[in-house]
């Protein structure tokens, strides 16, 4: 017997077996008319499987319906066969003709769209739109009568009259309704039109429009054959089947589809709905009505919109753009098109809310309903029908109604006055109840009896159903809100002295409070069986009254009974018992299908372990009672620390709540893994292993206007986390998130982003709240009424709510067939059978037995490592190592060194990431620009234009004036980094600050270039242009200098020493301090490579002109900016913390008030002292601040060094002008300094420094290096003094170089003194060596001693010392004249030597104490090891 033919689902790819299983299950469910509950893990192609399975069935069903219907007609007919066959063909051709007509129209639309695409994008729209009337139409002439309610009658008196006079339930005018009915869209009485067939369709529903957009993109992939094919159609078209396009339309709310800018700007969905309906009221003038609403005149546009909408797959944004192009409202114009669709996509609220379906006139009768992401379906239904209101809102609504009633009491007629009075009575009753609960301090929350709410005087006489109808039809809330706005504005105008202004009487942009209260009043009519009322007291909003829907069954039952079949699909539907026992409890079990698919990955790619034991062997148990104990948090810290060390790449840790995450972090910053007081805290230890990132609290973004901020915050965390993993050389990162938080749903932690997922505890909701008590009681009684065990049913529901949240988290890790990860569940309860049974099937298949932390770190390490490469061993940093046998223990890369190894093994630098080199290139280009333009400054300022000596010049300020202005420029360039540091640390972050200030820098260079053109110099623009350029360039360089050096150091992620085995087998210690030293060596070498630009610019200055000398730096800076932008994804970018600088100054103020004792600013000291301060930092911050203050003390000596160093940039150039140049520009000599640095840095880094550390065993500490830098700078000045004395001792002009009659050659030209300029070279070499020792070490010292969040600010303080050096140079400028220069150099030499000696004397113990501690602890460890070996 032949096997049944396998179904062809027309999947665009070769489907996996589980996809075939899923599509067959969908097909069978739709065919049998059942409710399907299907689970297919994320990453298995669930969306495509849903599309292919459901569409294949739909096309097959249409074909079978046509053929079977005609077969039935033939059986009942007595006509001859030839007539029946002819009738069959005629009927088939008619159906094909109807379909072909639609296809032809759509084809024309497609061709038309291609022809006018350019016009749509760049020209005017196809149809002219009417001008939208301003919301303030009427202005101050508007009468108060516009706020009076229309006459209202109820009880059947004249209800239809009043209602028909304005608009119906759909919110459409009679004209619009007639037009919609003409297009096949029935309203009100639902008159069916014979010529429009509502074809069977699939309603696809998901949570958000972004998910529906993804669905639409998947739908574009699918090519389906037509349901009915012509008899003469060829069987094969060159090997391809006939294809019929899928007719698809997406529906949205007014908020998503409104194109009226005056309405859309309201922002809130309720406000937009109300305003849209207002614009259609009979009292609205034609000029004020919405010009986009369909009318009789725009009938052609509605047809055009329908054909355009069906011409291709469009998402919600595409429909909005289409409406704008055609000038027709897409919200109303899309309704008729649903009749012709095969798939209609829409978000949860439009499908699940009955009123929304009625407003859209969506009939689900006989259609297919597919709900994706259905794991939170019951919560979504409960959320839609639940509502809350605060006491303040009720009181505000009461005041507004009272004012309105008093104002219009005499104008309100009939039922209006009665119903408004009834609403006030109900509000008084509810307000009185809440005020009584507020007075009761013992009750925090509780269940509310509806009779207590309605106990007020006369409330029992109110008919709530009639009152609700009145609120809906009269639009009372909008009338009251409009009048309140009008009255407030009128009062403001009166207070302003009666000034005539235009009164804007449009509605407020937020939801009227009475509209919100109205929604709550509607809930009073809900059946008491399905929901309960609760009160709760909140710190922020006071007491609130809330209606909670306990049972979503009744609201979902309408959908199930109307639809032919319903499919509930999701990635984590387990546990599924809630759906059949609660949501679908009324259905016969035979009507429900369930399927839980496996994953596309092999079982070996996943390791799921319940971690039941701590590191010391006790049980992990994160119950409410135990999880906050210090022991539990210590055990958890040890576990996460071990897991982070042994799982490569990214590890995501999910905590049960935000409060518990905060509690753990606070404890880990205080507690230490080791008993030693000097050992790092848990938090520091975690940060050393992997950088740590935290999920932002979703509660902090509660108001709707901040939704964008919330999404931006989520993206910011994910981007930083991803960048850290991508640029960390396998080190990875830690992400602390919360179960049920913003990162637990819809986030892709594929591949390296989630090699490990850790779930801490079980996130059970608090069972002691009034809501959960009521919910458990309701479920128990409902189960008991069906003959089940009520307690067991309630417990299962409670556990299912917890496990559904857990399953969402663990489903984030595996995202495709080649992915792999370890899932670690920390709690002994995960080893129980009942909890494990609620995990998805694909996880249960890879679930191991419960284990302890020690076992897990080996198994997780081995499992993940073997998956990636069976031949390589992966460590926490994902590196491959050689297996070596050591006598004591096996050693892998990244092991922490022992005390003996710290004392004996050589230290090397870590490998530098690409991001560091890119930052170095950016700094190279910036310094190229800076030195390139400042190199010619001395001549530009000192010499005059067309100088008689042939020296290039422009301003003629002489040597002293030029030196003073040059020093001012340097001073300004090193003051502005303070501003750049504040902007970076507080607001933008280092990268963005560099990016934006670079643009300022480029503007400054361009100004300098323009004003240095010969025509500008001749017209006197050179001097003001120079001043402006100096100011702008200094501002730009301030934003760059303070941030680029800490940014390059941040590219290196290792912060603790670790062992590394070199390829030749040598074991070394990778020392972060050596790494930072190397990176600043390279950084400084790039600076000096850039500074060589002065060679080119001074040559251009001499040969071409100053304009060319300033154009070259501008071009080079543009290159650097391009590198900065293009390398964005390679950088490790830390977001700004904000407030840290303010905290710094507040802590210093506290210290000043306590005799300069910084310990008084510690939180731990607040309880001991008399004064208590409000502080927002921890003890560690104060300790870091102390270290930063030590660095600031070190910086105090640097101005002396910088004034010595700056002589190279001004007086040395003038000195060269007094010597024989032999054709060289006098300002080219300073380039000897950077060339020397470029040559010396590799020599020092690779040979001299390692020789000192390893061969001489000397600690060449930063303090020692800085001291030597001062002394060598002193030697440079001493040499300059000797050289200057030799110049003065040589003719022809001796002590007046270039200013004596003996040396005069021609008018204004003099012969220089007979000393070769090459004698300046030793001075430049000595300055370069001192720069390496003092300046580079100063940068390194500033970075390493600065607190984590103040790197830029401390760096700016170090750079500020250069500004003070420039200020000293300004004071010395008057002395920089012949013949006093010998004394100037001599004084500087002596001052620098003295400063170096005093510096070393003051700070010699700073590094000595640290070295001594390290040596002592190492010696102690070695001694203990030796004693142990002797025993």
Q: Which residue matches tokens 């219907």?
A: 69
Residue 113 or 988, more confident: 988
What pLDDT sits at residue 539?
A: 66
Lowest mean pLDDT, pick from 783-792, 861-870, 1033-1042:
861-870
Residue 1167 or 476, more confident: 476
Angle between helices 1072-1091 and 1232-1243 (to 10 degrees): 150
Lowest mean pLDDT, pick from 839-848, 969-978, 1412-1421:
1412-1421
C-beta separation of 1179 from 1337 below 8 A: no
- What one-character-per-residue DSSP string does 442-459 give? T-SEEEE-HHHHT-STTG
Q: Which residue matches tokens 């600013």?
A: 1161
Percent of the chain with pLDDT over 90: 5
Q: Which two tokens stand for residue 468?
A: 């609700």
DSSP 8-state symbol, 697: P
Sequence-distant (6+) residues with CB within 8 A of 788 are none
What pLDDT sits at residue 491?
A: 67
**Res. 104: pLDDT tops 80:** no
Q: Which two tokens stand for residue 635?
A: 């055990």
**Res. 893: pLDDT tops 50:** no
C-beta separation of 180 from 332 below 8 A: yes
Sequence-distant (6+) residues with CB within 8 A of 739 are 654, 655, 656, 657, 759, 763, 805, 806, 808, 809
Q: Which residue matches tokens 């060289």?
A: 1224
Q: Which residue matches tokens 């069935």?
A: 57
**CA 215/CA 321 separation, integer angstroms:** 19
pLDDT tens by residue, 609-620: 899 888 888 888
- What one-character-per-residue DSSP string does 107-164 give? HHHHHHHHHTHHHHHHS--SSPPPPPPPTTTTGGG--GGGGSPPP---TTSSHHHHHH
- Split at pLDDT 50, 70, 90, the class of 1417 is very low
* Mean pLDDT, residues 440-460: 79
SS3 610: strand
pLDDT tens by residue, 542-601: 788 888 888 888 888 889 998 999 999 887 787 788 888 888 888 888 899 988 887 777
Taking every pair of C-alpha atoms in the chain, what is the biggest distance, in angstroms? 138
**Res. 864: pLDDT tops 50:** no
What pLDDT sits at residue 1259?
A: 66
* Mean pLDDT, residues 87-99: 62
* Mean pLDDT, residues 886-890: 33
Please provide residue 465's backbone torsions phi and psi, each rounded to the nearest 5 degrees.
-70, -40
Please provide the size of the chain in residues.
1431
**CA 1174/CA 1178 separation, integer angstroms:** 12
What pLDDT sits at residue 108?
A: 63
- Split at pLDDT 50, 70, 90, the class of 866 is very low
* Mean pLDDT, residues 1345-1351: 67
Query: How distant, in Å, are the alpha carbons of 572, 898, 1188, 1245 from that of 1147?
Result: 50, 37, 13, 39
Reported as type and span, the H/E element at residue 538 is strand 531-538
DSSP 8-state symbol, 580: I
Characterize the bridge pairing of strands 733-738 and 606-613.
unpaired
pLDDT tens by residue, 1090-1140: 877 877 888 888 888 888 888 898 898 888 888 888 877 777 776 665 556
Q: Which residue matches tokens 């080219």?
A: 1228
Bridge partners (DSSP) listed for residue 692: 734
Lowest mean pLDDT, pick from 58-62, 976-980, 1245-1249:
1245-1249
Query: How distant, in Å, are the alpha carbons of 838, 851, 1076 from that of 806?
Result: 10, 19, 42
CA angle 1143, 1147, 1150 (to 5 degrees): 140
C-beta separation of 916 from 1132 below 8 A: no
Exposed/middle/buried for residue 834 (C-beta within 10 Å: 0-12, 13-18, 19+): exposed
- Split at pLDDT 50, 70, 90, the class of 1425 is very low
What pLDDT sits at residue 1347?
A: 67
pLDDT tens by residue, 913-959: 777 777 778 888 888 888 888 878 878 888 878 777 677 888 877 77
CA angle 1077, 1082, 1087 (to 5 degrees): 120
**CA 473/CA 267 separation, integer angstroms:** 24
Q: Which two tokens stand for residue 279?
A: 């614009």
What pLDDT sits at residue 1281?
A: 92
* Mean pLDDT, residues 971-995: 82
pLDDT tens by residue, 1233-1272: 888 888 888 888 778 877 876 676 666 788 888 899 999 9
Lowest mean pLDDT, pick from 269-278, 322-331, 852-861, 1308-1317:
852-861
What pLDDT sits at residue 1391?
A: 92
SS3 816: coil
Sequence-distant (6+) residues with CB within 8 A of 1064 are none
C-beta separation of 1276 from 1204 below 8 A: yes
- Split at pLDDT 50, 70, 90, the class of 1021 is confident
Lowest mean pLDDT, pick from 128-142, 609-623, 685-699:
128-142
Residue 274 or 606, more confident: 606
Sequence-distant (6+) residues with CB within 8 A of 655 are 661, 664, 736, 737, 738, 739, 760, 761
What pLDDT sits at residue 723?
A: 81
**Res. 139: pLDDT tops 90:** no
**Res. 901: pLDDT tops 80:** no
Q: Which two tokens stand for residue 1369?
A: 């140079």
**Res. 370: pLDDT tops 90:** yes
CA 1100 to chain centre: 48
Q: What is the CA radius of gyration of the chain?
A: 40
Residue 1226: closest CA among 1315, 1325, 1107, 1110: 1315
Q: HSE of 1429 in the Cβ direction (CA atoms, 13 Å)? A: 7
Q: HSE of 160 in the Cβ direction (CA atoms, 13 Å)? A: 2
Reported as type and span, the H/E element at residue 1281 is helix 1262-1288
The 3-state secondary structure of 347-398 reads EHHHHHCHHHHHHHCCCCCCCEEEECCHHHHHHHHHHHHCEEEEHHHHHHHH
pLDDT tens by residue, 770-801: 888 888 888 888 888 878 888 888 888 888 88
Q: Which two tokens stand for residue 318?
A: 């595409």
* Average pLDDT over all residues of the chain: 75
**CA 1349/CA 1338 separation, integer angstroms:** 19
Lowest mean pLDDT, pick from 458-462, 622-626, 1053-1057:
1053-1057
**Res. 1156: pLDDT tops 80:** no
Which of 272-281, 430-439, 631-640 has the largest mean confidence? 631-640
Q: Which two tokens stand for residue 1075?
A: 């790494």
Sequence-distant (6+) residues with CB within 8 A of 179 are 294, 295, 296, 299, 302
**Res. 427: pLDDT tops 70:** yes
Residue 819: closest CA among 868, 862, 763: 868
- Split at pLDDT 50, 70, 90, the class of 1004 is very high
- Split at pLDDT 50, 70, 90, the class of 1394 is very high
Exposed/middle/buried for residue 1336 (C-beta within 10 Å: 0-12, 13-18, 19+): buried
**Res. 867: pLDDT tops 70:** no
CA 435 to chain centre: 42
C-beta separation of 1192 from 1361 below 8 A: no
pLDDT tens by residue, 528-553: 677 888 888 876 667 888 888 888 88
Q: HSE of 709 in the Cβ direction (CA atoms, 13 Å)? A: 11
**CA 1399/CA 1419 separation, integer angstroms:** 30
Residue 346: closest CA among 545, 535, 207: 207
CA 476 to chain centre: 41
**CA 310/CA 321 separation, integer angstroms:** 14
């Amino acid at each position: 017997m032949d096997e049944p033919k396998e179904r062809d689902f027309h999947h665009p790819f070769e489907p996996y077996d589980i996809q075939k299983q899923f599509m067959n299950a969908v097909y069978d469910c739709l065919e049998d008319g059942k409710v399907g509950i299907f689970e297919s893990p994320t990453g298995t192609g669930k969306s495509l499987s849903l599309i292919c399975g459901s569409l294949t069935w739909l096309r097959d069903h249409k074909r079978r319906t046509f053929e079977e219907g005609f077969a039935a007609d033939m059986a009942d007919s007595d006509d001859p066969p030839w007539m029946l066959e002819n009738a069959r063909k005629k009927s088939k051709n008619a159906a094909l003709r109807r379909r072909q007509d639609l296809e032809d129209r759509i084809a024309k639309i497609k061709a038309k769209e291609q022809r006018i695409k350019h016009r749509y994008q760049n020209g005017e729209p196809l149809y002219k739109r009417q001008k939208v009337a301003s919301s303030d139409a009427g202005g101050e002439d508007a009468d108060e009568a516009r706020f009076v309610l229309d006459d209202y009658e109820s009880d059947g008196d004249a209800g239809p009259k009043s209602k028909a006079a304005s608009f119906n339930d759909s919110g459409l005018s009679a004209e619009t309704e007639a037009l919609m009915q003409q297009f096949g869209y029935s309203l009100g009485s639902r008159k069916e039109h014979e010529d429009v067939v509502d074809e069977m369709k699939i309603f696809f529903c998901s949570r958000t429009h972004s998910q529906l957009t993804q669905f639409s993109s998947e739908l574009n992939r699918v090519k389906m054959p037509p349901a009915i094919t012509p008899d003469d159609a060829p069987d094969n078209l060159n090997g391809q089947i006939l294809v019929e396009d899928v007719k698809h339309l997406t529906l949205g709310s007014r908020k998503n589809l409104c194109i009226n800018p005056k309405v859309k700007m309201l922002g809130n969905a309720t406000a937009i709905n109300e305003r849209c309906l207002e614009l259609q009221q009979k009292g609205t003038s034609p000029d004020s009505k919405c010009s986009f609403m369909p009318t009789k005149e725009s009938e052609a546009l509605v047809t055009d919109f329908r054909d355009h909408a069906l011409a291709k797959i469009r998402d919600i944004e595409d429909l909005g753009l289409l409406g704008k192009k055609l000038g027709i409202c897409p919200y109303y114009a899309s309704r008729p098109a649903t009749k012709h669709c095969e798939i209609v996509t829409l978000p949860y609220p439009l499908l699940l809310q009955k009123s929304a379906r009625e407003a859209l006139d969506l009939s689900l009768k006989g259609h297919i309903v597919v709900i994706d992401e259905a794991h939170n379906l019951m919560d979504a239904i409960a959320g839609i029908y639940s509502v809350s209101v605060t006491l303040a809102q009720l009181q505000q609504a009461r005041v507004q109604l009272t004012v309105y009633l008093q104002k219009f009491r005499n104008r309100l007629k009939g039922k209006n006055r009665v119903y408004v009075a009834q609403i006030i009575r109900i509000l008084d009753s509810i307000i009185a109840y809440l005020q009584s609960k507020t007075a009761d301090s013992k009750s925090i929350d509780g269940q509310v009896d509806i009779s207590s709410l309605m106990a007020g005087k006369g409330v029992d006489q109110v008919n709530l159903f009639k009152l609700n109808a009145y609120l809906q039809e009269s639009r009372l809330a909008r009338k009251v809100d409009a009048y309140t706005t009008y009255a407030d504005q009128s009062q403001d105008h009166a207070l302003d002295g009666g000034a005539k202004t235009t009164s804007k009487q449009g509605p407020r942009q937020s939801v009227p409070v009475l509209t919100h209260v109205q929604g709550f009043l509607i809930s009073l009519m809900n059946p008491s069986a399905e929901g309960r009322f609760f009160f709760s007291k909140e710190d922020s909003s006071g007491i609130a009254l809330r209606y909670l829907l306990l049972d979503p069954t009744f609201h979902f039952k309408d959908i199930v009974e109307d639809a032919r079949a319903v499919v509930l699909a999701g990635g984590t539907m387990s546990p599924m018992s809630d759906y059949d026992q609660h949501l679908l409890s009324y259905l016969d079990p035979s009507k429900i299908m369930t399927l839980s698919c496996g994953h596309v990955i092999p079982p070996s790619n996943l390791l799921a372990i319940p971690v039941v034991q701590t590191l010391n062997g006790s049980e992990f148990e994160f119950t409410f009672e135990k999880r906050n104990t210090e022991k539990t948090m210590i055990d958890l810290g040890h576990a996460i620390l071990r897991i982070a060390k042994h799982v490569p790449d990214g590890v995501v840790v999910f905590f049960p709540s935000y409060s518990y995450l905060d509690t753990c972090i606070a404890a880990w910053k205080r507690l230490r893994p080791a008993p030693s007081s000097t050992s790092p805290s848990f938090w520091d230890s975690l940060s050393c292993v992997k950088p740590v990132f935290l999920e932002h609290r979703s509660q902090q973004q509660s108001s709707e206007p901040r939704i964008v901020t919330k999404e931006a915050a989520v993206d910011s965390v994910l981007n930083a986390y991803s960048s850290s993993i991508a640029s960390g050389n396998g080190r990875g990162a830690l992400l602390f998130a919360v179960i049920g938080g913003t990162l637990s749903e819809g986030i892709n932690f594929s591949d390296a982003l989630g090699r490990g997922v850790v779930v801490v505890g079980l996130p059970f909701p608090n069972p002691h709240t009034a809501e959960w008590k009521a919910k458990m009681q309701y479920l128990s009684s409902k189960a008991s009424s069906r003959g089940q065990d009520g307690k067991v049913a309630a417990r299962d529901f409670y556990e299912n709510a917890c496990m559904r949240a857990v399953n969402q988290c663990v489903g984030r890790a595996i995202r495709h067939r080649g992915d792999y990860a370890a899932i670690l569940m920390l709690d002994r309860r995960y080893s129980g059978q009942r909890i494990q049974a609620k995990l998805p099937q694909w996880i249960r298949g890879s679930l191991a037995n419960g284990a302890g932390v020690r076992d897990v770190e080996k198994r997780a390490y081995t499992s993940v490592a073997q998956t990636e490469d069976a031949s390589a061993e992966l460590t926490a940093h994902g590196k491959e190592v050689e297996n070596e046998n050591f006598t004591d223990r096996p050693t892998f890369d990244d092991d922490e060194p022992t005390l003996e190894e710290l004392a004996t093994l050589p230290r090397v630098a870590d490998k530098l990431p690409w991001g560091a080199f890119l930052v170095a290139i950016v700094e190279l280009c910036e310094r190229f620009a800076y030195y390139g333009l400042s190199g010619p400054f001395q001549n530009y300022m000192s010499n005059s234009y067309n100088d008689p000596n042939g020296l290039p010049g422009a301003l003629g300020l002489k040597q002293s004036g030029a030196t003073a202005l040059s020093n001012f420029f340097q001073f300004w360039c090193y003051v502005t980094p303070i501003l750049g540091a504040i902007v970076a640390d507080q607001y933008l972050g280092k990268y963005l600050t560099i990016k934006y200030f670079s643009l300022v820098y480029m503007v400054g260079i361009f100004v300098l270039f323009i004003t240095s053109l010969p025509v500008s110099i001749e017209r006197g623009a050179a001097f003001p242009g120079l001043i402006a350029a100096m100011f702008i360039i200094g501002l730009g360089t301030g934003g760059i200098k303070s941030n680029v050096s800490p940014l390059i150091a941040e590219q290196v992620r290792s912060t603790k020493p670790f062992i590394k085995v070199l390829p030749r087998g040598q074991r070394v210690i990778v020392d972060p301090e050596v790494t930072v030293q190397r990176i600043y060596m390279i950084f400084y070498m790039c600076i000096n490579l850039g500074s060589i630009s002065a060679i080119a610019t001074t040559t251009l200055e001499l040969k071409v002109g100053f304009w060319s000398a300033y154009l070259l730096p501008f071009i080079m800076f543009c290159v650097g900016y391009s590198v900065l932008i293009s390398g964005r994804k390679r950088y490790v970018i830390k977001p700004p913390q904000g407030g840290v600088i303010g905290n710094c100054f507040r802590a210093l103020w506290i210290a000043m008030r306590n005799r300069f004792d910084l310990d008084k600013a510690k939180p731990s000291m607040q309880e001991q002292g008399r004064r208590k301060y409000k502080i927002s930092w921890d003890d560690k911050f104060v300790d870091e601040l102390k270290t930063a203050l030590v660095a600031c003390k070190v910086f105090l000596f640097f101005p002396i060094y910088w004034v010595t160093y700056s002589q190279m940039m001004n007086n040395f150039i003038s000195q060269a002008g007094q010597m024989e140049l032999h054709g060289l520009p006098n300002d080219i000599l300073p380039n000897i300094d950077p060339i020397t640095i470029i040559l010396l840095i590799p020599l020092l880094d690779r040979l001299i420094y390692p020789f000192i550390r390893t061969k001489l065993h000397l600690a060449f500490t930063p303090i020692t290096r800085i001291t030597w830098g001062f002394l060598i700078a002193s030697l440079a000045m001493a040499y300059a003094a000797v050289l200057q004395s030799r110049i003065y001792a040589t003719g022809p002009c001796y002590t007046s170089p270039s200013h004596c009659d003996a040396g005069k050659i021609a008018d204004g030209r003099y012969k220089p003194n007979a000393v070769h300029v090459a004698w300046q070279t030793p001075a430049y070499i000595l300055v370069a060596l001192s720069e390496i020792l003092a300046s580079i070490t100063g940068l390194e010292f500033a970075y390493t001693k600065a607190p984590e969040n103040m790197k830029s600010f401390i760096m700016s303080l170090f750079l500020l010392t250069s500004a003070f050096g420039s200020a000293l140079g300004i004071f010395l400028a008057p002395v920089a004249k012949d013949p006093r220069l010998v004394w100037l150099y001599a004084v500087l030499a002596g001052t620098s030597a003295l400063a170096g000696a005093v510096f070393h004397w003051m700070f010699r113990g700073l590094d000595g104490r640290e070295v001594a501690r390290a040596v002592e602890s190492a010696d102690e460890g070695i001694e203990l090891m030796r004693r142990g070996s002797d025993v």
